[in-house]
Amino acid sequence: MSRGRTAAGWTAVGAAAVYVALKGDWVAGGTVGISDLGDVPRGDWVMDNLVTGGLAVVGVAVALAAIRPWGMRVPVWLVAVPMWVGAGLLAPFVVLTPAAAALRAAGWWQPPPAAPGDPALRPWTFVVVYGSFVVLGVGLAVALLLYARDRFRPVVAGTVGQVPRGLTHAAQAPLAWLAAVLAAGLAALRLSWVLGGTAGLRPGAGRDAWLRLQDTVTAAQFLCAAIGLLVLVHRWGPRRRFAVPLVATWLGAGGMVAGGFLSMPAILTDGDGGPRWAAQGQTFTGYATGTFLTCVAGALISVVALFLLVERGGLIGRGAVGAGGAGQQVPLLVPVGGEPRRDPVPVPGLGGTAGHRQ
């Protein structure tokens, strides 16, 4: 195991532990980092913090799986699902948190005050919470990338075009295009808000510098997922490293799935007879529709990517390694010394063994 993978994994564990400790204090009735609890019912406060703290505990478990020997033996799905979703959910924080600090320092944006009745947090609490998100996101992404490289090297190494299209390509292509069109449409809507558009927004709801930055990052995440998947499915740029569009798809679609489904409870609640809640000045109809389409597009992209990876593993296991785009066979692994030889190497969880050069 590389030192980089170990360091990144333990860094992610440490960042998540800080967040879990804070949430644990709040669940237990503590007020560390809180200046005013507001009027939030105790049950709702505990449940909200149990859910968010529980997600951080899952992050700890995934980070440990990426750096401990037992992590190479656990079932693939047990690591892959939280890996796919968690890193995609945290990726925007890596950009948005430092950007928020820069916008505030430049005097271009001030955080809005807490809504009446909502808990008011002390300023340092935001630094701790969002700082832990940034460190956790970077550490987890690096650790998981290196983990995937070590565990699934024959599948994730090489180029986009070195493995021919499989039997499910006829189903992958239309589903990929459907998901890409949905994601591109959602990205276009977000970018229209950046440029001053009002479709889907409440009358008079302006977009300050912070919200425009959020819209830009969200649109970029949607586009990464859409373009990355199309590159993988259609083998565009066959000599391109396979890992590049795979990571773009991972961070994009994972964020779409996580953000979309985590928003659903607020949409499905009845609002206690009052106005239905919607995020960031959006109309409820627009917010609910956009969230639903985000879930659909993210889930479609994730499923197509899963089929593509499983099929790629199976084809590699049967030795179906084609040209990398220039009429010559591309080795599955870069030679690391000695005479090249072909040996069967297991592709854990993704089908059979892979003949490769090493």
List domains and CATH numbers for the chain: 1-151 (no CATH), 161-318 (1.20.120)
- Candidates 263, 232, 236, 253; CA nearest to 303 is 253
Mean pLDDT along residues 25-40? 88
State whether residue 345 is helix, strand or coil: strand
Q: What is the mean pLDDT of residues 144-163?
A: 90
| Residue 250 pLDDT exceeds 70 | yes
Stretch (H or E) spanning 322: none
Name the residue among 156, 147, 148, 144 with its Cα closest to residue 1: 147
- Mean model confidence pLDDT for the chain: 84
Tally of CB atoms within 10 A around 230: 19
Output 184-187 pairs: Cβ under 8 A, ≥24 positions apart.
Answer: 184/222, 184/223, 184/226, 185/293, 186/219, 186/222, 186/290, 186/293, 186/294, 186/297, 187/218, 187/219, 187/220, 187/222, 187/223, 187/226
| 348: pLDDT strictly greater than 70 | no
Q: Is the pLDDT of residue 227 over 80?
A: yes
27-36, 104-113, 223-232: which range is least confident on average?
A: 104-113
Number of residues assigned to the chain? 358
Over residues 55-94, the pLDDT tens digits come to 999 999 999 999 999 999 999 888 888 888 988 899 998 9
Token pair 């499905």 in the structure block, residue: 268
pLDDT of residue 350: 53
Q: What is the tens place of the pLDDT at every residue in 170-226?
A: 999 999 999 999 999 999 999 999 999 999 898 887 788 888 999 999 999 999 999
pLDDT of residue 352: 46
The per-residue pLDDT for 103 is 83
319 phi, psi to nearest 5 deg:
80, 15
